[in-house]
Amino acid sequence: ILAYQQGKFLAQKFNETLDTDRFIYRHKGSIIYVGEKKSLFELKQFHTGGRLIGYVNTLIHLYHAVTYSQRVRMVKDVFQDYF
């Protein structure tokens, strides 16, 4: 909920101060790591958690890695942690 509120606040501030197209914040859910290779996911009224969500969380982090070397390092770490 906090990330959603922060996104709405930033969208409002961007629209007030920037002279560009209107910025619209779209909340795509929240995912957090809770330990022991488990994560929680929440989107409005839907929420779930567990190891499968932990794997999805790891894949999301891999997808958003900026450089190729970051991805290689992350894949190496994932294999060491999970296998």
Whether this prediction's pTM lies above 0.95 is answered by: no
- Residue 10 is which amino acid? L
User: Three-class SS of residue 43?
Assistant: strand
CB neighbour class for 80 (10 Å; exposed up to 12, middle 13-18, buried from 19): exposed
pLDDT digit string, tens, across residues 52-82: 998 888 888 888 888 888 888 888 988 887 7
Beta carbons within 10 angstroms of residue 18's beta carbon: 10
